[in-house]
Structures are given as C-alpha cells and as structure tokens.
Structure 1
Amino acid sequence: MAWLLPGLIAGPAQAAIVQSQAIQCAFSNGAGRQWQEVTPLTSTTTVGAVLFQRPVALVTNYRYGSSSGNVAHELVSAGHWTAGTPLPGGIAPTNVSGIGFKIVASSSDGVVRELSQTPRPVALEKDLVRFDSSAGQNQRSQMVTNYVQSLILTVPPNQLPGGELRVERVDGSSALMLYAVDLVRGVASLGAEVTIPNDNIPVGICRTPYALLGPAIINIGGGGITIPNTCVVESYKTIPVKLGRFSLTDFPKVGSTSASVPFRIELSQCALNAKPQITFTDKAAGHGDPSVLSLSASPDAAKGFGIVMTNELNGQRVRYDGTLYDMQRVGDSAVIPLRAGYIRTGSDAEVKVGDADGAAEFTFTFP
C-alpha cells in the first residue's frame, strides 16, 4: 500500500541584482610595492629618465545604500593636481632638487592616464554599484584604483645636490587631490573631467575627497627612497692577469712570493656623488687563509701555492671574505689599483709544479 505524505517542495532561492548607491566611502592604501630601479643614476643619465618606479593600489572601501530602483549608479575614482606650483608634464618637485615625482593611473580599460593640473578632477576608474539581494544590502564592497609612482631626473646629473639623495616628500604648493564619488551611470567617462556634486542624498553618499600634501603623497605607496649614485658596470667583464712562469727554486720556503703584476679595476660614467665599494670572492674557495686565492682544480694543477692580491690604495692584502674596499674617484671614473702574485703555502712534501690558475669574482656596491 502506498501512502501519500503531504510535504513542501523547496525551489531555488530567487536572488536579484539590486541597483544601489555607494555610501560611507573611505580610503586605504596598504598595497604599495617596493621601489624598483628603472635607470641607474650615472654621470650620463639623461634628463627625463625614470630613475625609480613602483605600483600603488589605492582602495576605496564603501557600503551599499538603499535601492536606487532602475537607475544605475557608478562609484568613480577621480584625481588631479590642484593649482599652485606649476607642474610641467605632471612632474612635481621633491625635497631633492633635480628629482621630480610623477603619478599616473593604470585604468581598467587599458589606458594609462597622467594626473596633471586640470581645473576639475579626471575620472580614472569606475565600478557599477549594485548588490545581490541574497547577500543583504548592508554588505561592504571596495574599488581599487591602480597607480604608478615615478621618480624622474629633471636636471643633468652634475647639477644634483651633494650628499645622500633621499626622496621623502613632494615640495611646492600643489596638492594631489583624489576623490571617490557616486554618480549616475554614464555621467563620468574615463579620462574626462568630473564635476563633484554638492548634494548629500542619501545621507553619506560618496563625495569623498582625499587631499595629499608633502610626505603623504609619497607615503601612499609606503614611503620614500634613497637614490643611489652609481657608475656603469660592465656585466660579465673578465680581467685577465698573467702572473708569469716560475720554478720551485723561486719559492724557497713557505710564504715566499713571486714578483707581483699590476692591474686595475675601473668603473666609468660615475655620478657626481658615487662612492663605489668592491668586494672579492674566491671562486674555488678551497684555501683556509681568506687573504690567499686558491688555485683552480685540475689534473695538472700545481699544489702548495696560492695567489695574493694587494690593494695599492692601502698597501694591504685583499681578503676574499666580503671585506669592503673603497674605490678611488678620478673624474667620472672609479678605480682600485691592485697587484697580484704567487705565494708558496705548502711544505716541501706538499708542493708540486703545474698549472697555477685562479679566479676571483668582484661585486660592486654603491652606498
């Protein structure tokens, strides 16, 4: 016997997309990345070169207001530089004379838009304001506007100030004004100027300004940076030094050395304030004394010998343990004069004639 039981048949929940308005806008900017070098600052860096650059994501947080019926709204991100200090090319002066600051927006339509001194802010990004009714109208949302900050050389390198080039703020009387504004869909076009309405209906509707001055302009990406003064470094450059041929009799005891051969390591096109330093590393890394360069291993290699280099700027042996050595500035160049020769390190029972090659890697730093 079949029994029919009364019951309810549940169908899928019917959700609807509700047109709304953006209210209670607030900004956050925790997504700034590290500055990345684009063009090294040397004596030949051209005016207008981008020295450093970083992307910054400025987040607009907001809530959904009540339904706007069949009228669609957009949350528009806009910005410009205010009147004040002239900013040719949208480049603002910084606390370092000769290094300028520029900001552009990477809009979602694929166009990069420069922020300049326009009478009204320019629309940089926009999102439809609407929510899923099944999630509730009070849920929060956000819109991200992607910016790129650049530090630009505005004078010849030899006109930059002496000392550390630490960019920490934007100078001048022009402010960077950013906005989050709710508008009826289609009122704003990306790249066009926007009029900020004066009304406040509904209460809390987004008409939010974000004024940035001085250090705050730099800090929306996470702070400033020190621009290193550098020289031109030729990557993978090899400096061959021929030390000559010698017999065992030329090394009568442990510590005996051969006649040394002079050579030098040189950098060119150094910036005015560049103070390069150099470190050396033993490629074979087989010797216990950090001031003796090991011989390269091979079946025909000599044994009981090493290579020593002398820094002629201080008369001391070069060490291969990360010790920093200052280079000498000569005009637009930087040099370190060196001498290299063989040294006996083994006892009579340990020495063997053969090939005596060694290699050291050198690394430059620009404090």
Structure 2
Amino acid sequence: MKMDIFWHITGKLRKIGTALGVILAGLSSLPAMAAITAGSCAVGTINGGAYEMNTLPTTLTDGTVIASRVLITTFKYSKTGSSADTLLTGAWYVSATINNTHHTIAVIGSAQGLGYRMSNLGYPGGYANGETFNRLNVRNVTAAGTNQTTTDYWLQELVVTNASIYKGGTITGLGGSTLTIVFGNQKVWDDRNTTTGSLRCAGLQAFWGLDILSPEGGGSAVIPELPVPKTPTCDLGGTNIAVTLPDVDSSSLQNHGDISGSKSFSIPLGNCGKNAKPYITFTDSNDRANRSTTLGLAAASTAAGVGIVIEKSDGGLVQFGAQNTGVSSSNVGQYLIGTSTVDGSALPLTLTAKYIRTNATLKAGEVKADAIFTIAYP
C-alpha cells in the first residue's frame, strides 16, 4: 500500500514539474513592454509664415479661400522599448459658433462674411471643430528615446462664408473663441483627461482671439489686409460707333418738338461677370454742360434748327450728363443698362437716334453730332 502511494505521488510531481517548465519557458520568451513615458510629453515649437493672398475670382462665391498658410507645431515625448505605441493630436474650439458648411468660426472686424478654419494635414486629418478629443492626427511610433520630437502640419485658411456681404477689410479678433491643441498618448484620449497621472502623457496649448490666427505670435503683423472683391464688369465691344440717319425732308420738322427719321444702333456689352451692373451716361461732346434730352449739332454741320434725340427701348429719351466714372443717384442722365445673371452673358444696349426740331431757324443741310458714352459700375 505504501509503495503504491509513493509512486502515485511521484507521478504527480513529474506532471507538475513538466507543466511548470512549459510555463516558465513561455514567460521567458515575452518581449519587454514598450510605452510612451508618462508625463514626458511637452509643447515644442510653433512656426508659421505670412498668410498668402489668393487672387480673387471675378465672381466671388461662398467657400472661396481668401488667404492661407501652413502652421507647424512640434511636441516632445520620451518612449521605452522598440514596439509601436500611439501618439495622437486633436484641436477643438471652446465657446465658438461653428459654421458646419465651411468648418469655420466667424471673425471680428470690418471683414464681414468671412470665417477662419484650421485643418490638420496628417492622418486621418480633418478640421478643428467643437468635438473635444477629436483625432486629427494618429501616428504609430516605434523608436525608443528621450525628448524626441514629432511634428504636426496645419492649414490655416480665411474663407468667404457670405459672398453677398464680403467687402474686404481687417480682422481684429475671433469672437470669444478659444482654440485648444492637444498632443498625447492613447491613455489621454481614453481618459479624456490631459492632466499628469495614471500613465497619461499630454502636451496642451490654448489660444484666444487673434492668437488663434497667429499662435506663434505677431498678432496682426502676420494677418493680411483683406482684398476688396472685384467688381463684375462687361467687355465693351466697340468704342467708336457711327450711326447714319436717313435723309428726311425738312417739311417733316416744321414745328418745335417734331421728330422724324430714325436709326437703331447698339452698344455691345459682352462677357459680363455674374451680377455685373453696368450704368451708362451720355455726354454732349459739343456742350459738356448740356443736361437736356437733345444732342446739339457739331460745328461741321451745315443744317440748323434740328438736334438729335436718343430713344431708349422703353420709349424714354436719354438725358445728357457729365462723364460719370462712378455710380450715384445724383448723376444726371445715368441709368442702369441691366444686371447679368451668369458669367459670360451679354447685355447689349439697343437705342434709336432721331431728328428733333429745335427753336432755331430751320435750315436744310448736313447734320453731324457727337456724343460720348461712359460705362461705370457700382
């Protein structure tokens, strides 16, 4: 009986020993753990050049980028072991109203209809937004070392959000918004906590107002004066237009105000930008002070007692005025030709010239008259 018990126990010991040997062999083959060193993350450098201005299109639309630049931020960290670990970067706004269409926050200043946005050019990339602990750059790092550097590249843009009110101007701030840029290990994102402790490693930067546009410092020195949008215009197809009226018998012009003979002509306006609003003013070449509806005769005329009227398509007569290079309701004789609805459209102006009897003694002969037309845009 004792012998049976002894061998039974010995057999058990062999099995335990064998199993223990396998376990020990398995443990001895595990690699050393690799990790970002807790508390080693720190803010590095931040640099950016001047904003580069883009050429504005003839027709300004929502979403047009007015100016942009690349901002470069660096962070420091330490790591042990050679296996990969994860480092993340996020950026989010606090107390900001975000335009979700253009991913922008509104600027303060005379530059209305404009927003600011910032995106990370890493993987997976994306815009700074209102989501805390978003993941704009996720990278795997393997090399061990202390005080290592990693870099983020950001695209900063000034974007038109309302083309109908954008008129250029200056930026004085970003209303009440704070931008937070956070760099750290996975534990920071898991805990949603940037403070030191519990294996967390985080570097944090926060910017407010103009510093969001120029986090490296310099404020308004690196923020450009914003361009005034181009006024949409039209191409003028001809600048010297000759109109030959038919011959008429003086008997058709016996009384003051009688009108006779007619000849239609056009002033060609083409390739208009969208929303172009050309205004025109006619000026009497021989009498620049003429503010009537009758164009006087040139000195080369041999006829007398007649003038020329120019009739618009609505039947009204053109009133002569000064050579107005700007648009104003006080400009005598100036009127709107029309408004183009699409790029590349035409707005031809069709008019009709006619003889009109004046108060002077009527005399048959050759009629010559010259007028200047001036196109202006608001």
TM-score (norm 2): 0.46
Greater Rg over alpha carbons, structure: 2
- Specify which structure has the bigger relative contact order, considering alpha-carbon pairs within 8 angstroms and separated by 6 or more residues: 1
Greater share of residues in helix: 2
TM-score (norm 1): 0.47
Greater share of residues in strand: 1
